[in-house]
Each structure stands twice: as structure tokens, then as C-alpha cells.
Amino acid sequence: MSYFHEEQSFGPWLFWTLAAVAGIPLIFLAIESQFRPVPFVPSLVAIAIFIPIALVFFAARLVVDVTRDEIAVSFHLLWPTRHIPLATVERATAQRYSPLWDYGGWGVRYAFANGWSYNTGGHNGVLVRTSDGKRVMIGSRRAKELESAIARAVAARLER
């Protein structure tokens, strides 16, 4: 039985950030070529690196599923699936957080003080604390609904 399912992807902000990062060297090469001949190879290398990276991030999806036995957090194409058994969940709390400040950015991150984070953008998520002391922040556009689904799944598991 599924209590919750959500799929998220990186927004267009990531494309423009990657384009800017890849584009800056190309701009400098274009300016430099005005004053002296520059081989075209560095431009091709920059484009050849940028396109596959951009395609992976466009295809990547953060998928969160709450079932009767676990919370599964999958970051397709970027990271292996994380399985959090419901039997180990002590608390799951929806909250607002700063991916950049609290975890150092977006995607899959680890911060010594805060634990693991899985997110694609936004500032809302559910902090899951487990009986072995681990903390996992799951970014969600429907954080309250995710929190409620985890609570229902844990309660149903206790009734069995």
C-alpha cells in the first residue's frame, strides 16, 4: 500500500546556472579571439562537457514513496535509493529550511551537524529522525502531506 508518492525535478534555474558556468569561459575565449587567434578546441570541450551534465540533471528525478514498510527516497540517475524502515522512524517533522545554509546546496548532500538532505529546490521538507540517531531531510513541495503520510504509515504499522 502506498501512503504517499511525489516526483520532483530540478527547475529551470539549474539549466541557467549550468549555462552561465559553462558560458563564462566561452565568453572569455570569444573576447580573447578578438585580439589573437585562439584554437576552437577549448570551446568544443566546454560544450562537450556541459551538454551531458545538463542532460543528466534534466533527466534526474527525486522520487519519494511512503509504503507500509518504508520511506524510499530515490534520486534517479544521480544517487542510489535510500530505504528508511518505518520501524526505525522516531519522528518526522515538516519544516522550512535553507538547503544552501543548512546542507551546502541542492541535490544529495551531507552536513555533519544536520545529516543527509535530498532536494531539488525550494525551502520545505520533512526532517526524519531515526532510532539510531540519523537525520534525513527530504525536500518536498508537499511537506505537510508527506509528514502526515509518514505518521499514518507508522501508526498503521504499530496496529499490525
The pLDDT tens digits for 5-55 are: 999 988 776 666 766 766 676 666 666 666 666 566 666 676 777 777 777
* Angle CA 18–24–26, to nearest 5: 110
- pLDDT higher than threshold 80 for residue 68: yes
Give CA–CA dist 25/19, Å, rounded: 11
Instruction: Classify 15 in phi/psi space as left (phi over 0), alpha (psi -120 to 50) or beta.
Output: alpha
Instruction: Tell whether the model's pLDDT for residue 141 goes beyond 80.
Output: yes
Q: Give the pLDDT band (50/70/90) at residue 121.
A: confident
What pLDDT does residue 42 have?
63
Dihedral sign of CA atoms 95, 100, 105, 106 in order:
positive
- Asked if residue 77 has pLDDT above 60, the reply is yes
pLDDT of res. 78: 83
Extract the C-alpha cell encoding 11. 527547475
Tens of pLDDT, residue by residue over 96-110, are: 999 999 999 988 999
Cα distance between residue 18 and residue 87, in whole Å = 40
pLDDT for the residue 48: 75
pLDDT-wise least confident of 43-57, 65-79, 120-134, 143-157: 43-57
Percent of the chain with pLDDT over 70: 80
